[in-house]
Amino acid sequence: MIDRIPMPPVAPSAIRLHAWYRSAGSLLRELSRAINKGQTLLRADSSLPVGTSLVLVMSTECLSAPIEVQGTVTALRVVGKSHEMTLRYDFDAGVQRDRLDEALAGLRAQTRRPRRSTRVPLTLATDTEALARDLEVTVMDVSRSGAQLRVAGKRLPAIGAGSRLVMRHQGRGSGTQRPLRLVLEVRWVGPRRRSGGRPTQVVGGRFVDPSDSLRKRLRALLSFTEARPQLTLQALLAPLARPAASTRAAAKRPRSQRKR
């Protein structure tokens, strides 16, 4: 949420809100949050009429020119001396392609070994109603091989290493609307904390055998070509049972050496 940006004394049609970010990663995360949520709450010292157009100008060091997001005031509420405006974002990735590629290149330059693939910071909400109504799952970043998620709710489900999050991915653009199955196997689980009065937990994992079609969609997500997919969490599966050590050892021995 953008907070406390003073409004310049110019005509509404010329209003441009400038925001500077310390890194390409923080800029891309805020861009993802804005376009995936579709709207944000803007607090200012004065208000603008509903229907006013604005431009969010996003800059960071690695960009030769800012990334611009179009916005429209859709609602207004005055609380004391604070003017709260609901701002709807509209973003055309094609128009901003060169600047997006610069930001992604800056992100890749910051990636260090042993990590092989770049994590792209995102803020992508996931529909969890099929699993639990009071659960909130947000994709925090994605790479070609896996993702990191933030889980929040009144009661957190039991998630451990080896658990599998079964999701459905559905794009909004032409050719991407067919639902595809996406499975994330949890590799690590962060400590439980409290945020906003609710328990929260961050987990990270790897995608399990993604299809070629799903890989293509992930590449589109990582490049911001597909910025608003619909993700639905369908099931949380317990870790797969692994064979006992003696059974695994026996399976590795040549058939002629196994007990009959």
The answer to whether residues 164 and 226 touch, using CB atoms and an 8 Å cutoff, is no
H/E stretch holding 183 reads strand 180-189
List, for residues 119-153, the tens digit of each pLDDT value.
999 999 999 988 888 899 999 999 999 999 999 99
| Residue 241, burial from CB neighbour count under 10 angstroms (0-12, 13-18, 19+) | exposed
> Per the structure block, which two tokens stand in for 101?
């590629």
* DSSP SS3 for 223: coil
Residue ranges of domains in the chain, CATH in brackets: 12-109 (2.30.130), 120-237 (2.40.10.220)
Q: What is the mean pLDDT of the chain?
A: 85
203 alpha-carbon distance from chain centroid: 13
Output the CA torsion 27→33→35→39 (10° steps): -120
In order, the DSSP letters of 69-95 are EEEEEEEEEEETTEEEEEEEEE--TTT
Split at pLDDT 50, 70, 90, the class of 102 is very high
Strand order in the sheet with 67-79: 16-20, 53-59, 67-79, 82-90, 39-44
Nearest alpha-carbon partner for 141 in 118, 120, 125: 120
> What is the rounded CA–CA span in Å between residue 234 and residue 137?
12
**Helix pair 97-109, 24-37: axis angle to 10 deg:** 130
Whether residue 38 is predicted with pLDDT greater than 90 in this model: the reply is no
List, for residues 205-234, the tens digit of each pLDDT value.
999 999 999 999 999 999 998 878 899 999
pLDDT the model gives residue 9: 41
Split at pLDDT 50, 70, 90, the class of 17 is confident
Q: Which residues contact 31 (CB under 8 A, 6 or more apart)?
A: 58, 67, 69, 91, 224
DSSP 32: H
Q: Which residues contact 84 (CB under 8 A, 6 or more apart)?
A: 41, 42, 43, 76, 77, 78
